[in-house]
A and B are shown apart, each in its own frame.
Chain A
Amino acid sequence: MNAITVSTLCVGGIGCVSALALAVADKFLSVKEDPRIGQVADLLPGANCGGCGFAGCADYAKAIVTGGAELNCCAPGGAEVAGKIAKCLGRDAVDVVKKVAVVMCGGDSTSAVRRFAYNGINDCAAANSTGGGDKGCTYGCLGYGSCARACPAGAIEIANGIARVVKSRCIGCGKCATVCPRKLIKLVPASETVHVRCSSKDKGPAVKKVCAKGCIGCRLCTKLGDPGAFSADGFLCARDYSQPLTKADDVIAKCPGHCITKDAD
């Protein structure tokens, strides 16, 4: 036998033995996976945004089928996907409220003062830890775009020194809310358009000193608006989204801090 035959047989033999071993192992050692996991994973959007709190869509599908996780955690998929999964698994459909992110600060560069010129790394956490941030207001949006870089949908724009969420593009995953060092981004029901865009807990005069669009804690909104539509905590008012708001225009026009605004889009 010449070398070519021997080597062909040898490599072929190794290949056959390996293939056989793998086939046997796959037959006897394979782990049975619930086929519904794959079906649910196919129904999910596949964006792997992690907004549901699990490590990606496949992990969430597994948690739904085996761990009994809620069906309505997928923000990008919304009610449509939740309904499809419920149908696939034979469970009752659950309500899904589509949520979007809102930056609770309206202090852009024309209305808020900066204490010094920050020249460091282009990152909000870094800016925030440099002397407490360059913005006069220690609660306000720094505008270095950490949230915009974290957004998987490209829904956050930095304009005029602050971050703004483009509602139509927001998938509601909440990644921006976790990276914001000042915790300014809140997830609110997408149907809501009126927000108190200020997070400053300082007293009125202190707010006025650093920003022209800050909540001074006068509580006028709680009196003018529908009962319960606005709540006040110390020197900061906030919109309570569980209550409806019908007198929005009146509140917006009369807010002395000019911090209650209506979404443009």
Chain B
Amino acid sequence: MEYFLLIVSAILVNNFVLSKFLGICPFLGVSKKISTALGMSGAVIFVITIASAVTWCLEKWLLEPLGLAKFLETLSFILVIAALVQLIDIVMKRFAPPLHAALGIFLPLITTNCAVLGVAVLNMKEGNGFFKSVVFGFAASVGFSMALLIFTGLREKIERANPPRCFRGVAIALVTAGLLSLAFMGFNGLVK
């Protein structure tokens, strides 16, 4: 039950994009076509889940014993996540070429994504255990993907619509993102 609530909370109530406002750049950047949005979603889910496991180990086994967790968290997380993503890129290219062809170009884009870092930092702030961290990371990235896909679907429709001239392009996209965020506020109170 605890994990169920965690997942529902991370996907709907505390959605990373729409209520925590993390990972806005890919949210606006790759939301023009469903196919690219799907690739980005896959890459984000993959990276965040692995990154939350690795950062948990880093925090518990290196930073906390040395007493550096308070101020070195962000810096070392960025460093480790960036290296990790590059490593995954190399390994994937060698052992899973089809997967690399699908996610490849998105992997370097999310090395320093704030959503990835946000999950890691939030895990430490909440004091989650290893398994809980991984589950939270997975749920948060699924929430991100869901928001991204919904938004992409909307933008594809808007492309065909005829908004006033001054609203065309990014302006109407941002208004849509705002409305979507408002809609997700409706989930507030679903989970404490």
Contacts and interface: CB of A to CB of B under 8 A. Distances in A.
B is a partner of A: yes
Interface of A: 3, 6-7, 10-11, 14-15, 18-19, 21-22, 25-26, 29-31, 120-121, 123, 126
Contacts of A123: 160
Contact of A10 (B62, B82, B86): B62
A11 B79 contact: yes
Contact of B83 (A3, A21, A29): A21
Contacts of B68: 3, 6-7, 10
Interface string B18-48: 0000000000000000000000000000000
By size class, the interface of chain B is 20 to 34
Contacts of A26: 90
Contacts of B97: 31
Given A10-B66, A30-B94, A18 B80 contact: yes
A22 B160 contact: no
Contacts of B94: 29-31
A120 B162 CA distance: 8
Contacts of A30: 90, 93-94
Interface string B58-74: 10001100111001100
Among A14, A15, A22, A120, chain B packs the most CB atoms within 10 A around the CB of A14
Contacts of B161: 121
Q: What 9 A-B pairs have minimum CB-CB distances, sorted nearest first?
A: A18-B83, A29-B94, A25-B90, A7-B72, A29-B90, A31-B93, A7-B68, A14-B79, A121-B162
B1 interface: no
Contact of A25 (B62, B63, B91): B91
Nearest to B71: A7
A7 B75 CA distance: 10
B97 to A, nearest CB: 8
B76 A21 contact: no
Nearest to A121: B162
Nearest to B58: A14
A12 to B, nearest CB: 10
A15 B67 CA distance: 19
A31 B89 CA distance: 11
Contacts of B90: 22, 25-26, 29-30
Contacts of B99: none
B160 A121 contact: yes
A21 B83 CA distance: 9
B32 to A, nearest CB: 15
A10 B160 CA distance: 53
A75 B71 CA distance: 57
Given A7-B68, A31-B93, A31-B94, A22 B87 contact: yes
Given A7-B68, A10-B63, A10-B72, A15 B93 contact: no
B149 to A, nearest CB: 22
Contacts of B87: 21-22, 25
B79 A29 contact: no
A18 B79 CA distance: 8
Contacts of B91: 25, 29
Nearest to B86: A22
B162 A10 contact: no
A14 B54 CA distance: 13
A10 B79 CA distance: 12
A56 to B, nearest CB: 12
A30 B63 CA distance: 32
A211 to B, nearest CB: 29
Contacts of B83: 18-19, 21-22
B60 to A, nearest CB: 14
A159 to B, nearest CB: 23
A14 B76 contact: yes
Nearest to A9: B66
Contacts of A10: 62-63, 66, 68, 72, 76
A126 B66 CA distance: 65
A7 B84 CA distance: 21
A222 to B, nearest CB: 43
Contacts of A6: 66-68
A11 B72 contact: yes
B164 to A, nearest CB: 14
